[in-house]
Structure 1
């Protein structure tokens, strides 16, 4: 037992003695990443790290409330801790033993800086041990303000902005010295997940994180309750107005964002994409993609100017997306990834649930008006088949028949929701939350008629 304790301690101090802590500017290593179509040749987007974007600022130039916002978001005991978290290391060790890559967390600002600037973030105890050793030595060799300054000049804030100086320009088009506490909290909130927490594209989640940071500022004594109560969520500027280092035209910019989201889900974060020199091959078929975009433009050419549309073509064998169109603005709202009511298309999920429970497409249903809740459901144009098969009612898109199909299900509307999710309808949508639910409870009967955004 004594050996098990002494050996790691000796190893720690031996590594500590020979470890050198480099300066922040020695550590920049930016590379271009490419997003390619399925032919591995057609370029959809190019992610160019912002050489020269990083604008180092001195700690004195950063308003204290802005610094406090970062501490409230990332490390509330920064000025008191030894530079590392033993409990976080313990969780990572257990995660390594049990194969849980999501274990760990609780890293201090010093550890985050060391991870981002020196040791990387691969999932291993060796990497975590290096992080611990360097963090401990850095906490001894540097004072806390030096560490915080290096961290704030290195961390990624989204919008291709590395360092708080660049982030201040990207989000608010102002020098960092002019940031308000509320604006500082926006930047601090973005550190956790820069693209997902951009207020321009996902205000609900971004504002929830901002509230967490602002409340944290009260907790650490950086703001009083009166200031907190008076705080107003600030506006950020349109990302399109900032310098774009992601080369992507039209809807390819939206494809790029979906790729980044999928990579993040696979454990490859946005910072790695921006600096890793990656070649990312997608399932997008360049022929199908061009055809989809051309078709949208042709169809919309003679229609009203404010009409919105989206196209997603999915390979039914693999689930891979072959073509994707969410709009022509590469940094605008993605209508292909937005929650929109589907209407009568959703009747197929009611039928699928009915068939799954042993029903038949030849079973017949009445098509007369039907009462559900406070509403009387009818068919468009007074259409009716009297009493006809589920298949015929689907062909005619009869609302009344499919309310009755739904009522024949063992679980009613919930069975329709469950079948839709089983067949691939998203369970959550950014900015919308959980889908196919009525305020967190079972859906209403109208789910069979496509009343819920998906």
Structure 2
């Protein structure tokens, strides 16, 4: 044994010596080796310290550098709502992509709902500093054990930061940013602000963002109405929204629901007895809730008008998508329902291609109270379309004549009128009164009479156009940069017969101005705009309007229109309510058929214009296949709308028409005249200026109109149909 030990010792010494020899001296090397050990140990600890300290230093630097937005600076897309004038009836919504969200204040969310979300996602929310070690550990254990109900390791603050600030990509850098922002946000924001922001932004499935949208998507109620069981269903869905919808995955959804309820007990939000009493609630079929259905039926066209008007008010598309706007419109639910009900009652009996539009305006304010442009929410808006107006346009020639001192009692011939191109125009079926007053001619809609009235205006057709514009006919409409003109030049003679395009909304507007004693108000749809937080961005300010014609010009025009409802098919309003109206019909080329039919008119409270036409510009036929006229479907709808809209309201009257007064020095009487002369009037009236006199002017003295001298009536050239004729090549004559 000793020999072996000595041998081992000798060998070891020899090896050591040999090794030391090659390394330039064993003793020296050994000392150096001892020296190496003395500094290697501190280096390892230093490295470990550096490894630990570096992230901390980086975190501290990032914490100092990072600027967490203040509450309210982080905006998310959300639903804007459009309401009727009552502020509660929703007409439409504007839902941006990933924005089916209606933000609600935290105080309107039931406490049991808040606690359900905390139990599901962050039970230590009010204690942690934006990051939870226990939550992280619980999630890690859940991953190891396969317990998916254990949840993730992110706090509510982290989830909110991820959704709103740093994104959802999988990387250490993103996670580090999330941690920094979360800790700093937890220190700078109060907890209720974080929770409110989270509840209004988190995704719950079914295209629902935020607790209020989720409550409506799953249960058809607002967030404020949620109970404990319903709250637990919504809280349970946050973990995996697409997979935990009870409608498609009841078993897993209910497991997670139980986990949430148990958590509510553990945090003291429910007692054991309350927990035991919970029953899994039924959710609504997802097919019954469409998050992105913005409007239905005619409300879709109202929505388009509202959005267009918001742009003119300086409210941008970004505002519309991010501020959760509550837009209160002028639409009166009674008037709108009356309009839709009238259309729904009449349209089933009509030809398949018949389309209608109806607009009702408040004469006293310009507010649009009812609007129907079609039944398709995304379809063509006939109420905003340029359409020939037929004989309804004669009222503007009447107003222009009154403006220039020609009374509605002035007599005119209704015999065929020769146009500047040599053609003759007559009334429907050659109807004529011989010679009669302008007022009677308006009621019976004699075309030649109003061509003669227009010819007597100082500027002819231009005066008809100018009066129409003054009363409310738009100067430009979609597709037409200039209306009532020939490329900026004076319009053709057919303007008085409704040759040019105008919109139903403009016809209602113009009649409203007349009904309001000649005071014009701009039409509008938007009454008030508020943000989700209650800030008022816009509120319509009532105005006195603008006087466009004198009281007596308006009153005399209205007076001439008052007999027409009764004359046109017995369309007197219910109870004999006073109204003023005019029908109109437009011919379809030289077919002898009609293409457009109108009824426009007003009471002192409301002005309504109704149009009927076809979707394919073919013949407009009534329910039994005959030609439709303004006294048909349009007049029926007009009466139904106003009767239902005004039911229960007082019977008001228009301002009485007073005779036009003239200064004696300007009064002239010219007995010689002819229905074929350049001046169509039976009398020549000298007036003091271009405007009608005030109401209190002396009573008009109307001389006896002498019998017309016998004249030989020229032969009217043959036409394809005796009741129709073309004004100019390619320009058809409106009738009716």
What TM-score do you get using the length of structure 2 for normalisation?
0.32
- Counterpart pick for 2:294 among 247, 265, 285: 247
Moved >3 Å (runs of 4+): 18-22, 243-246
Task: Look at both structures and tell me which one has the larger radius of gyration over its CA atoms.
Answer: 2
From 332, 344, 362, give the equivalent of 2:409.
Answer: 362
Secondary structure of the residue that 2:501 maps to in structure 1?
coil
Mapping for residues 183-198 of structure 1, pairs under 5 Å: none
- State the alpha-carbon separation in 1 of the partners of residues 300 and 500 from structure 2: 27
Alpha-carbon spacing, 1:41–1:299, altered in 2? closer, same or farther (3 Å): same
Distance in structure 2 (CA, Å) of the matches to 1:394 and 1:442: 24
- The answer to whether 1:438 aligns with 2:486 is yes
The partner residue of 1:323 within 361, 370, 373 is 370
**Distance in 1 separating the partners of 2:339 and 2:295:** 17
Q: Deviations over 1:100-159 (max 9, x none)?
A: xxxxxxxxxxxxxxxxxxxxxxxxxxxxxxxxxxxxxxxxxxxxxxxxxxxxxxxxxxxx
Deviation of 1:350 after TM superposition, in Å, equals 0.7
1:396 correspondence with 2:444: yes
Shift in Å, 1:289: 0.4
Following superposition, the deviation at residue 349 of structure 1 comes to 0.6
Q: Kindly state the Cα deviation for residue 364 of structure 1 after the two structures are TM-superposed.
A: 0.9
Q: Could you say which residue in structure 1 is the equivalent of 2:392?
A: 345
> How far, CA to CA, are the matches of 2:97 and 2:369 in structure 1?
30
8 Å CA contact retained: 2:409, 2:438: yes
2:354 paired residue number: 307
By how many angstroms is 1:332 displaced?
A: 1.1
Match in the other structure for 2:85: 38
Q: CA 1:273/1:377 → structure 2, altered by over 3 Å: closer, same or farther?
A: same
Given the alignment, which residue of 367, 370, 373 partners 2:420?
373
Cα shift at 1:246: 5.4
**Aligned equivalents of 1:390, 1:52: Cα separation in 2:** 59
Any residues of structure 2 matched to 1:56-67 within 5 Å, and which? none
Q: Distance in 2 between matches of 1:300 and 1:423?
A: 31
Give, in angstroms, the shift of residue 328 of structure 1: 1.0
Deviation at 1:269, TM superposition (A): 2.5
Which of 388, 411, 418 is the matching residue for 2:459? 411
Q: Is the 8 A contact 2:77 2:98 kept in 1?
A: yes
* 1:315 Cα deviation from its structure 2 partner: 1.1
1:264 aligns with 2:311: yes
Tell me the CA shift for residue 433 of structure 1: 2.3
How far apart are the structure 1 equivalents of 2:403 and 2:298?
38
Residues 405 and 19 of structure 1: CA distance in aligned 2, closer, same or farther (over 3 Å): farther
Q: Distance in 2 between matches of 1:252 and 1:276?
A: 22
Residue number in structure 2 paired with 1:279:
326
- SS where residue 426 of structure 1 aligns? coil
Matches within 5 A, 1:75-224: none
Distance in 2 (alpha carbons) for counterparts of 1:434 and 1:447: 14
Q: Which structure carries more helix by proportion?
A: 1
2:78 aligned counterpart, secondary structure: coil
TM-superposed CA distance for 1:27, in Å, is 6.6
**1:52-93: CA deviation from partner (whole Å, max 9, x where unpaired):** 79xxxxxxxxxxxxxxxxxxxxxxxxxxxxxxxxxxxxxxxx
Provide structure 2 residue ranges, at least 5 long, that are not aligned to the other structure: 1-64, 101-289, 503-736
Distance 1:400 1:253, change over 3 A: same
User: What is the TM-score with the length of structure 1 in the denominator?
Assistant: 0.51
Partner of 1:424: 472
Secondary structure in structure 2 of the residue aligned to 1:348: helix
- Relative distance call for 1:28 and 1:391 in structure 2 (3 A) is same
More divergent stretch after superposition (293-302 vs 26-35): 26-35
Give CA deviations for 1:254-281 in whole Å, capped at 9, x if unaligned.
Answer: 0000011111122223332232211111
Q: 1:426: Cα distance to partner?
A: 1.2
Segments of 5+ residues of structure 1 without an aligned counterpart are 1-17, 54-242
In 1: Cα distance, 2:91 partner to 2:395 partner: 34
Give, in whole Å, the separation in 1 of the partners of 2:353 and 2:316.
Answer: 35
Q: Which of these residues, 328, 333, 343, is aligned with residue 296 of structure 1?
A: 343
Q: Distance in 2 between matches of 1:20 and 1:414?
A: 65
Distance 2:318 2:488 in 1: 34
Instruction: For 1:19 and 1:434, locate their aligned partners in 2 and report how far apart those are by CA, in whole Å.
Output: 56
When residues 366 and 275 of structure 1 are mapped into structure 2, their CA distance, relative to the original with a 3 A threshold, is same
Number of residue-to-residue matches in the alignment: 246
2:382 to 327, 335, 356: 335
Distance 1:312 1:244, change over 3 A: farther
- Deviation track 1:384-404 (CA, whole Å, cap 9, x = no partner) reads 011111100000001000001
3-state SS, counterpart of residue 437 of structure 1: coil
Q: 1:414 to 1:21 in 2, by over 3 A?
A: farther
